[in-house]
Amino acid sequence: TMIYTATDADGTQLGVSLQIVISSTALKVNDDAAPEKPGTPTVTRTTFGKPTNPALDVTWTAPASGATPTGYEAQYRKKAADGEDPAQWTAYSGTLGATTTSLNLPDLEAGATYEVQVRALNDDERGPWSDTGSGRANRAPTATSAAFNGGTFPVGSIANYPETGLGALGVMFADADGDGLTYIASAEHPALLGISFSGTAGSANFRVTLRNQGSSKVTYGARDRYGGQVTRTVTFGITAKTTRSIAENSAAGTAVGSPVTGTPYNSVALSYTLKGKAKDSGKFVINSASGQISVAQGATLDYETDDDHRETETRDGQVTKFYRGEVHYTVDGHAAVISVSINVTDVAAGKPGTPTVTRTTFSKPTSPALDVTWTAPTSGATPTGYEAQYRKEAAEGEDPAEWTTYSGTLGATATSLTLSDLEAGATYQVQVRALHNAERGPWSDTGSGRANRPPAGNGIGYPTATLAYDVTWTYQNRLSAQFVDADGDTLTYSVTAADQRLASAWADGDLLKIETKNAGVSSLTYRAHDPYGGVSDDGNHAFTITANETRTLPENSPGETMVGDRVQGNPHNGETLTYTLTGELATSGHFYIKQRGRIRVKRGAVLDYETKSSYTGKVEYTVGGLATAINVTINLTDVEAGKPGTPTLARRQFSEPTNPALDVTWTAAAANGLTITGYEAQYRKKAAEGEEAADWTAYSGTLGATATSLTLSNLEAGATYEVQVRALTSLEGEGPWSDSGTGRANRPPTASGKPFNGGTFPVTSIADYYETGPGAVGPLFADADGDALTYAASAANPGLLGVTTSVVNGHSRLRVVLLNPGSSTVTYQALDPYGGAVTRTATLTATASETRSVAENSAAGTTVGDPVTGTPYDDGDPQTNDALTYTLSGAAATSGAFEINSSSGQISVKQGANLDYESESSYAGRVEYTVNGYATAINVTINVTDLEAGQPAAPTVTRTEFSEPTNPALDVTWTAPAANGTTITGYEVQYRKKAAEGEEAADWTAYSGTLGATATSLTLSNLEAGATYEVQVRALTSLEGEGPWSDSGTGRANRPPRSTEASNLQPSYTLLWGGADSVRTLNDKFADDDSDTLTYAASAQYPGVLRVGIEGDNSDKLRIHVLNPATSTVTYGVSDAYGGYASKTIDVSGSAEVLTGSELSRSVAENAAAGTAVGDPVAGTPYDDGDDQTDDALTYTLTGEAATSNAFTIDSATGQISVKQGATIDFETKSSYTGRVNWTVQGQEAFADVTIAV
């Protein structure tokens, strides 16, 4: 024991005793003395996964030489600012073992710079302090001045806080250390609002979506890697207000707009309640599940009738009547309310379409009018009527006129009206509106149209004219050239003559026409009309009508000879005119005029051409009280005999074959005052060039005084004849021969060289003999004169052959239809119009054979196909019966199997007949009958058909789908065949693997399953993957057994997925227990030759050791998470939809080693009391096997020196290591222990090697 004393100046003394214990430990001699200096410490910020006070990690290197350290000491202090005294060093209180080269300084001052020194210890020897290392403690991120505000907004709003880009608020957080930040956010009530991020720190967009009514705080923050964190908080008020509308008079149950709903949270359905005046009114109810408001049962909605619950507001000038209510609901425990206004809308008529305003058409002059049409409203109430108003459109700059109400009645279906007596050329505006009972809808948009502008004269006019009487004159100067029309209308015209006694006038289209009647001076008026009642002013045209006539009379004409045509005026209104002859015509004494204007020679008058050849005068008369006259000149002609006109010779036409003849015509010779008593004619065959002309032959017939034609008969075909005629007179005898007329006698048609053949053909065949067109035989006849020919044809027996002829574009067509079996000739004749004819003949034979079928076992009376009939012949005699009578002969009849209806030709099964395909499959016979006296027959074959089911269509063969791995299978489907009169009782199917090209086909395999009468599908199982199979099916019947096999259907069996080279993953590997998951992409590990869509799956042999799953956007990523440090196989695979599956298996071990490869570490202070926990528990993850009867809890044991030293024990339930009862933990004695924590999960041994540092 040592005692220290101290005495002050006053003599006061204080003593302190110190006991020194000398242990018995042997003294160690260290020749190396104190250790060397360690490397300068490196001081860096400690990283944390959660907000934590700043800490610094300190690391150093052990001394490079000198004594081996048995431990270390460290000291640290906050670095002084320039000019300040350094602070005292603070000794690091932790224990630093011989191999330690790091420590951690926790709970430091943010942003302060710390200095650190370390030194090595060798038992009691302390080495020198290292050089000073320094590092700054972490500075947490801070909020910037960028605005982060809350507020009150409606549901559905989105609050964006973009740091960059459009509408950016700026960066929200800063970090003085320049650290990369991680943004965090949370909502106080996530059911009321949702939060989301996009982008990265510094360019992020934080988004808040308001979901339901209420209030919630939002916290937005940033973290660095070193435990620093800062947050910003705002509050959002969320409002919910909406409006729904419903038309008045809506029926109970009518939905009031869309549902009024909140936004569910965590998929929990919401329940809605309606409150407020909308509920109290009794007019509305809500569906608690959907939020749909509807009209309540018995409720009456009337826009015009208010009640105590309805409110009225004027919004934007419009009166709104509504019921105020609230929709209540609870979301995630929060009561939310949506304010809703239910508007009752007035049901009024809608707005009609803009009126179309067009000019009204009229058939006579009328004041302008406008037709107004519109379309009914496409919305609103059904109109019960309409109102209209109109006004004249104001000129630019003028005030518009007042509207004039249309006074007519416009009913519910009216869509048109007419405005009459309008101002010509004025533009009118029109509006219409619909009425619904007493309610007036809105006025339509304004339609406009201009009232008609009538045509007007252009001042051109017609000049005065002189016109001859008794003529209809057409003026080339058209009426359309006299007028203009401002509307561009198509005009019509009217004309009125001033004096109908002299002339009448009219318009023919736009041509002016005048019919002159009697001589005198007159005029007319003319007008133009448009289609819309417009008419122009009158135009006038003056004209003078002259009347001049000339007559000719032979000299020596006797008394009462008529002097040409009558000289007459034109009566007016049916009056009888009286004529007077004046001038030379009267004073000469040679002429007089009769009551109807006929001038005649007076009796006793001597008219001599050589004495006076012409006389003039007037025929005067009064028409309708108007005196007028016709100027007349009578010229005398000198008389002498005349020469007939040159004869015209033309071939004479005949309606039947006849020898050639020529018709000769001429014009009569002028008698020239003589009396012609007859004519003579002569003719001869014209000589060829160079030959002498033949003598004339006198025509032997008698030709009277008026004859101007004759006929020369029985002439030589094709010869040319000459003819002359002359007149005979009573005084002068024969007149001169006329000039010669010539003409050629007819040349009849001839048969061409084209064949006209017959032949043998089936009944109903048609033999066409066309001169042109498809299948033409060519022209069968020719005509040297080029005459148009007519054709006739006939059959010797028309009951066998039907014959028709036609001419198409000048070419003949003969059609022969073979009607009934037998042979007949056809005569074909061509005729020209002049008696020429030629005939050709051919023989055609018709045959008839019919085949009918009937099923075996058919009952008596069963009809055998269609009737077997001939074609009746109508002989045109209504007294005779043209119907055919049929008899059946041959084996078909003698076998007793069949009979025929004599009237209809219907063959049927005879009573007692037994038709059996296997006994007799065919019967021959004849159906005999007589047509037009000709006995004929049709050969008949009756086939008995075998009864069996039809051939099914080729089956459809497709891969069978499976929900789990299965051997390949194929689904086979087919359509049922025709039963063909039998009963299908089932089906048989056979299949085989399709042979490769060049190989022999395999034998068919019968499908062993039972296929009933209605079966149309089956499945072939356990097939060879990728092989193509052929399948056939046939029907079974009750009577006839198997039907024919179908054609083969084919399909390929499924080819399962296969692994690729990329699937050869490392067969075994180790993952860190508690470390990052292993994530591997699988879509490149497998391929599918059928290009199927693949589904990935994975499983662990021991899911208590490893948790595996498939994830990713395409569900093709394998994630492996270590739950406990043990080993398990992992199987990952892929399947298609058709049972195909492929997989790979790997071994995965979970390791408890930390990333550096060292063991888990725990620490405990020396001298720790029994039961002191040694760090955190070393615990695995229990596995729930789903069996409530088993205990899933883990049991832990501790092995190794940590246990055998009796220093530590472990809680078998929690894995908590603690100081064992009675243990002495002494750093100087032992500074570390190793051990292993063991447990079993799913029968697998799991362990974690642990180092316990003292």
Cα atoms in the Cβ-side hemisphere of radius 13 Å centred on 1123: 21
Tell me, what DSSP letter sits at residue 597?
S
Same domain, 766 and 858: no
* Domain assignment of residue 1043, yes or no: no
Same domain, 621 and 570: yes
Cα separation of 707 and 291, whole Å?
115
Nearest of 910, 905, 903 to residue 926 by alpha carbon: 905
Length of the chain: 1254
pLDDT digits (tens, 9 = 90+) for 1192-1245: 899 999 998 988 999 999 999 999 999 999 999 999 999 999 999 999 998 899
Distances (CA, A) of 575 to 569, 571, 597: 11, 6, 14
Predicted local distance difference test score (pLDDT) of residue 507: 96
Cα separation of 1139 and 1143, whole Å?
13
pLDDT band at 1153 (very low <50, low <70, confident <90, very high): low
Please, which residues have CB within 8 angstroms of residue 124's CB and are 6 or more apart in sequence?
A: none
Same domain, 250 and 339: yes
Q: What percent of the chain has pLDDT over 90?
A: 77
Same domain, 92 and 126: yes
Tell me, what DSSP letter sits at residue 1009?
S
Predicted local distance difference test score (pLDDT) of residue 1155: 36
pLDDT digits (tens, 9 = 90+) for 431-443: 999 998 777 889 9
Report the Cα 1138 to chain-centroid distance in Å: 35
Instruction: CATH number of the domain at 186, please.
Output: 2.60.40.10
* Domain assignment of residue 1210, yes or no: yes
User: Across the strands, what pairs with 795?
Assistant: 826
CB 153 within 8 A of CB 238: yes
pLDDT band at 372 (very low <50, low <70, confident <90, very high): very high
> Which of 937, 972, 989 corresponds to the end of one domain?
937
pLDDT digits (tens, 9 = 90+) for 445-487: 999 999 999 999 999 999 999 999 999 999 999 999 999 999 9
Instruction: Tell me which residue range forms the domain holding 880.
Output: 849-937
Predicted local distance difference test score (pLDDT) of residue 33: 61
- 3-state SS, 1149-1192, equals EEECCCCCCCCEEEECCCCCCCCCECCCCCCCCCCCCCCCCCCC
pLDDT digits (tens, 9 = 90+) for 1103-1116: 989 999 999 888 88
Predicted local distance difference test score (pLDDT) of residue 1066: 63
Helix (H, G, I), strand (E, B) or coil at 710: strand
Same domain, 552 and 541: no
Question: Which residue in this structure is represented by tokens 């979901």?
Answer: 211
pLDDT digits (tens, 9 = 90+) for 305-323: 878 889 888 877 777 889 9
pLDDT digits (tens, 9 = 90+) for 690-741: 999 999 999 999 999 999 999 999 999 999 999 999 998 775 568 789 999 9
CB 824 within 8 A of CB 800: yes
Same domain, 541 and 473: yes
519, pLDDT greater than 60: yes
**Phi, psi of 1202, deg, nearest 5:** -60, -30
> How many CB atoms neighbour CB 979 within 10 A?
16
First to last CA, the chain: 32
* Domain assignment of residue 1146, yes or no: yes
Largest CA distance in the chain: 217
Question: Which residue in this structure is represented by tokens 């996964």?
Answer: 49
Q: Which helix (H) or strand (E) holds 154?
A: strand 151-154
Average pLDDT over residues 1038-1046: 84
26, pLDDT greater than 60: no
pLDDT digits (tens, 9 = 90+) for 555-606: 778 999 999 999 999 999 999 999 999 999 999 999 999 999 999 999 999 8
Q: What percent of the chain has pLDDT over 70?
A: 97
Please, which residues have CB within 8 angstroms of residue 999's CB and are 6 or more apart in sequence?
A: none
Give the mean pLDDT of the chain: 91
**Phi, psi of 279, deg, nearest 5:** -80, -45
CB 810 within 8 A of CB 804: no
Please, which residues have CB within 8 angstroms of residue 761's CB and are 6 or more apart in sequence?
A: 767, 818, 844, 845, 846, 847
Same domain, 131 and 147: no
> Which of 115, 137, 159 corresponds to the end of one domain?
137
CB 852 within 8 A of CB 907: yes
CB 541 within 8 A of CB 527: no
Pairing of strands 741-744, 759-762: unpaired
Same domain, 933 and 862: yes
CB 406 within 8 A of CB 435: no
* Domain assignment of residue 324, yes or no: yes
Pairing of strands 970-973, 984-993: unpaired
* Domain assignment of residue 1000, yes or no: no
* Domain assignment of residue 1030, yes or no: no
Predicted local distance difference test score (pLDDT) of residue 21: 59
pLDDT digits (tens, 9 = 90+) for 404-436: 999 999 999 999 999 999 999 999 999 999 998
Question: Which residue in this structure is represented by tokens 């045209």?
Answer: 541
Question: Can you say whether the dihedral through the CA atoms of 359, 361, 362, 363 is positive or negative?
Answer: positive
User: Across the strands, what pairs with 524?
Assistant: 497, 541
CB 427 within 8 A of CB 358: no
Pairing of strands 71-78, 56-59: unpaired
Q: Is 534 exposed, middle or buried (0-12, 13-18, 19+ CB in 10 A)?
A: buried
Q: How many domains are there within the chain? A: 11
pLDDT band at 5 (very low <50, low <70, confident <90, very high): confident
* Domain assignment of residue 945, yes or no: no
> Which of 176, 202, 237 corresponds to the end of one domain?
237
133, pLDDT greater than 70: yes
Cα atoms in the Cβ-side hemisphere of radius 13 Å centred on 1107: 13
Instruction: CATH number of the domain at 300, please.
Output: 2.60.40.60
* Domain assignment of residue 529, yes or no: yes
Question: Which residue in this structure is represented by tokens 């004529």?
Answer: 579
Same domain, 245 and 335: yes
CA-based angle 1185:1188:1189, to the nearest 5? Answer: 105
Same domain, 443 and 472: no
Same domain, 445 and 537: no
Helix (H), strand (E) counts: the chain = 4, 95
402, pLDDT greater than 80: yes
Predicted local distance difference test score (pLDDT) of residue 751: 93
Tell me, what DSSP letter sits at residue 981?
T
Predicted local distance difference test score (pLDDT) of residue 641: 60
Nearest of 1211, 1219, 1251, 1246 to residue 1234 by alpha carbon: 1251
Q: Which two tokens stand for residue 1182?
A: 């229990």
693-713 burial code (b ≥16 CB/10 A, e <16): eeeeeebeeebeeebbebebe
680, pLDDT greater than 50: yes
Same domain, 783 and 868: no
Average pLDDT over residues 494-515: 97
Question: Can you say whether the dihedral through the CA atoms of 296, 299, 302, 308 is positive or negative?
Answer: negative
CB 1248 within 8 A of CB 1160: yes
Predicted local distance difference test score (pLDDT) of residue 2: 76
1087, pLDDT greater than 50: yes
27, pLDDT greater than 60: no
pLDDT digits (tens, 9 = 90+) for 899-942: 999 999 999 999 999 988 878 999 999 999 999 999 999 999 99
